[in-house]
Amino acid sequence: KMGFNAKGRKWWDTEEGMRFLRMREENFEFDRKVDEELIQIAREGPAVIDGWVIPWLVDDGFKIWLKAELETRARRLAKRGRFAYEEALRVLTEREARNRELYQRLYGIRWGEDLSPFHLVLDSTRLGKEEVLRLVLTAVRYYFDV
């Protein structure tokens, strides 16, 4: 609808994804609409939502913040084959700085700094996908008593 061909999570790391991010910095309408939809989905539940700001906007649910050192995230991104390591570092740094500023201006959120909405903060720097999944499932089962 807006002239972008957004497919898959990796799209956000492309030049087109970065152009879209720059456009969003000028006009918050897209973010507000998407966030309103996600808030509605969360309220209707049950749902698993992967979003940058929803944990700050919705009170209910079990909220998880997955973090890793920048260098580790850049290596993981480069390993997917889209970028060389140095380019991955640049893309991650730019995208996060722009999103941090966007969400501060839009909602007053200190993204990446205020982790108070989260029930679990998990550093995945030294963990593989399987270990992260196991730890997250254990925490979710404990939280929901299942």
Q: Tell me the per-residue pLDDT of 6-60, one tens digit each, with 9 for 90 and over.
A: 555 565 666 777 777 777 878 788 889 989 999 999 999 899 999 889 999 999 9
What does the alpha-carbon distance between residue 135 and residue 94 come to, in Å, rounded to a whole number? 30
Secondary structure E strands in 16-128: 64-67, 120-123
How far out from the chain centre does Cα 39 lie? 15
**Which residue segments constitute the domains of the chain, with CATH numbers given?**
9-144 (3.40.50.300)
pLDDT in tens, 59-93: 999 999 999 999 999 999 999 887 899 999 999 99
Helix (H, G, I), strand (E, B) or coil at 58: coil
What does the alpha-carbon distance between residue 94 and residue 36 come to, in Å, rounded to a whole number? 26
Q: What is the pTM of this model?
A: 0.82
pLDDT at position 110 is 96
With beta carbons less than 8 A apart as the criterion, state whether 118 and 58 touch.
no
The residue written with tokens 């740094």 in the block is 93
